Chain A
Amino acid sequence: MLIEPFRVPFMARALAELALLALVGGPVSVFVFVRRLSFVADALTHTVFPGVVVGFLAGGLTGVFVGALVAGLVTALVLTLLTRRGALSDDASTAVVLTAMFALGVALVSRRPSYTSDLTAFLFGRLLTVTPGQLAQTAVLAGAILMLLAVGARAFLFRAFDPGGATAAGFRVGALDLWLNVLVALVVVAAVRAVGTVLVIALLIVPAAAARLVSDRLVAMAVLGTAVTFAAGYLGLLISWTASVGHGIQLTSASAVVLVLVAVYLVLLPAGRNR
């Protein structure tokens, strides 16, 4: 009963995709949390949109992935530069970049007489139609993200906790910030196909926030974040399946996953008051 739906290939693939996203989302969300990058992460989900449009116009569906990647990396770079010397406050410059990029995407898209459901797919994801090839791509990207994260983790941690001390110790704070922003952008790109740019922000914020309610140790937070995300993926898919196959109620899988994730956070909220 709890396993049955996942014997069906497309459900198994959807769960595998979410498992990969949970694997990278847990640790990366912890760094987004301690660096207070939630707004930057949200900005990145908006700025991949013009990349998606340009990629689609240039190269169809495969172009979308590349377009999102380029847009994400460019944003990471621009945001890092803008906030480097505290030239503008983080929030203000971030807001400027995100609205400019999103408006650019809208302007590009509206030049076409009709824009298609392919683009809606990238706003809201197509979790159930992930192909084996796309799953492999996500796996490779997830592997790269985890490796880059592992190598930089200690430096990120020091910089997050004590930027002055980190600089004094010889760490290049600007380079580290760029590196972390790039990793967040990569997670957005990896997750875009499954849950869409609108919902991917949940994967970057809620896991660490929920884990922090329960633990104050970084590694535990990362592991819990991954576990919570995977559980939400499993339950969300199960709910979506049961609603659709058992009762004829339409409920998109991606939104079910995100709703479960938020529900887990709300359930844990009382536990966090004592920390």
Chain B
Amino acid sequence: MTRRERGISALVAACLLLLGACGHARAATSDRLVVVATTPEVADFVRQVGGDQVAVTEIIKPGVDPHEYEPTPADLVAVGAAKLVVKNGVGLEKWLDATIQSAGYHGPVVDASQGVTLRPGDPHIWHNPLNAKIMVADIEQGLAAADPARADSFARNEQSYQARLDKLDADNVAAYAALPADRRKLVTNHDAFGYYVDRYRLQFVGSVIPSMDTSAELSARQLQDLVAKIKATGTKAIFTESSLPPKTAETIARQAGVKVIGGADALYGDSLGPDGSYLEAEEHNTATIVAALGG
């Protein structure tokens, strides 16, 4: 080896030593049921049903786009160590299968969308509280099967949460009943609110990203069509979303001469708020929409 070649080997060795000195894997020690949940929504449901009997690792954090995600080493370790994996389903988590395979997880996977009536190709099922009730039931079943000793506790938690979901739905119905019919027109950032629109019989005028996932763009023609539609239908506002950049929505709002609702008031389309609560996010959505369209 030449001197230079020796010098480089020493440098590499020094770097390795330095790295070794910092950081180590966090060991998980608890006798709670170890569950990995993919999205903030299903994670919240798991926590509500599981209570303090479960230790939940959430892969997609609030505000992160779930349609495109690259799992980190920590995610793979968590999946490998889990007793149960819970997913939203309907093709939302395209990265999950490869993740499960790579992590070497062989346990059950709960598909929370089981039993939900689907709109073709639309994974955002949770925006209809009635669907959320089905998802929660599926999750409770999965948790009970994975940990029968705690089934009673899970069943109790589920019952009380289902009641809260009923209340959410009732409140939403009341809110829209108070909004004049010709104002119930929705333009969102991407097409995430299909189930919500169906449930509360709103009119969906269009979305800034013409797709149910986030990787498409309006062509010039589509953009003009959307602006024309907004003007023609008398839609009062465009809503941006928490996990998507607002620029295009702002541009369209300017062209169409309507308000854009964003920033802290942005809707939770793909994600939840930082507190990770489904109920709070849905309440926020309804309140924001009704206020913007009504005023």
* CB pair B73 A120 closer than 8 Å: no
Residues of B with C-beta under 8 A to A114: 211-213, 215-216
> Which residues of chain B in 1-42 are interfacial with respect to chain A, using CB atoms and an 8 Å cutoff?
2, 4-5, 7-8, 11-12, 15-16, 19-20, 22-26
* CB pair A245 B69 closer than 8 Å: no
* CB pair B4 A214 closer than 8 Å: yes
* CB pair A244 B70 closer than 8 Å: no
Stretch in B98-106, B128-136, B193-201, B226-234 with 4+ CB within 8 Å of A: B98-106
Stretch in A21-29, A45-53, A123-131, A143-151 with 4+ CB within 8 Å of B: A123-131
- Number of residues from A at the complex interface, CB < 8 A: 50
* CB pair B67 A113 closer than 8 Å: no
Residues of A with C-beta under 8 A to B76: 8, 10, 128
Residues of B with C-beta under 8 A to A273: none
For residue B135, give the distance in angstroms from its CB to the closest CB of chain A: 23
Picked from B12, B102, B213, the residue with its CB within 8 Å of the CB of A130 is: B102
Residues of A with C-beta under 8 A to B11: 267
Is the CB of A224 closer than 8 A to any CB of chain B? yes
A117-B94 contact given A241-B73, A244-B72, A248-B74, CB 8 Å threshold: yes
Is the CB of A115 closer than 8 A to any CB of chain B? yes
* CB pair A242 B8 closer than 8 Å: no
Q: Which residue of B lies closest to A3 (CB)?
A: B20
> Which residues of chain A in 116-164 are interfacial with respect to chain B, using CB atoms and an 8 Å cutoff?
116-118, 120-121, 124, 126, 128-131
Picked from A117, A131, A224, the residue with its CB within 8 Å of the CB of B102 is: A131
* CB pair B69 A242 closer than 8 Å: no
Is the CB of A59 closer than 8 A to any CB of chain B? no
* CB pair A113 B94 closer than 8 Å: no
Picked from B4, B19, B23, B94, the residue with its CB within 8 Å of the CB of A235 is: B19
Type the 1/0 row for A213-245, where 1 means its CB is closer than 8 Å to any CB of B: 011000010001000100100110011111111
Is the CB of B290 closer than 8 A to any CB of chain A? no
* CB pair B16 A246 closer than 8 Å: no
* CB pair A246 B20 closer than 8 Å: no
* CB pair B98 A129 closer than 8 Å: yes
Q: Which residue of A lies closest to B9 (CB)?
A: A227
* CB pair A113 B25 closer than 8 Å: no
* CB pair B2 A215 closer than 8 Å: yes
- Number of residues from B at the complex interface, CB < 8 A: 43
Residues of A with C-beta under 8 A to B72: 128, 240, 244, 250-252
Picked from B2, B5, B67, the residue with its CB within 8 Å of the CB of A117 is: B67
* CB pair B94 A118 closer than 8 Å: yes
Q: What CA separation (Å) do A174 and B70 show in the bound complex?
A: 42
* CB pair A268 B8 closer than 8 Å: yes
Is the CB of B206 closer than 8 A to any CB of chain A? no
* CB pair A131 B68 closer than 8 Å: no
Is the CB of B71 closer than 8 A to any CB of chain A? yes
Picked from A120, A129, A246, A250, the residue with its CB within 8 Å of the CB of B23 is: A246
* CB pair B211 A9 closer than 8 Å: no
Q: What CA separation (Å) do A214 and B5 show in the bound complex?
A: 7
Residues of A with C-beta under 8 A to B15: 235
Residues of A with C-beta under 8 A to B216: 110, 113-115
Q: What CA separation (Å) do A201 and B86 show in the bound complex?
A: 38
Is the CB of B77 closer than 8 A to any CB of chain A? yes
Is the CB of A1 closer than 8 A to any CB of chain B? yes
Is the CB of B210 closer than 8 A to any CB of chain A? yes
Type the 1/0 row for B85-104, where 1 means its CB is closer than 8 Å to any CB of A: 00000000011001101111
For residue B97, give the distance in angstroms from its CB to the closest CB of chain A: 9
For residue A158, give the distance in angstroms from its CB to the closest CB of chain B: 26
Residues of B with C-beta under 8 A to A9: 102, 104
Q: What CA separation (Å) do A239 and B11 show in the bound complex?
A: 16
Q: A120-B215, A129-B99 given; name 4 further pairs at CB < 8 Å.
A: A117-B95, A131-B98, A235-B12, A238-B19
8 contacts between A and B (CB under 8 A): A4-B25, A113-B216, A114-B213, A126-B98, A129-B101, A246-B22, A246-B23, A246-B24
Q: List the 5 shortest-distance A-B pairs measured between CB atoms, nearest first.
A: A246-B23, A242-B23, A117-B68, A114-B211, A129-B98
Chain A residues in the interface with B (C-beta under 8 A): 1-2, 4-5, 8-11, 13, 110, 113-118, 120-121, 124, 126, 128-131, 214-215, 220, 224, 228, 231, 234-235, 238-248, 250-253, 267-268, 271
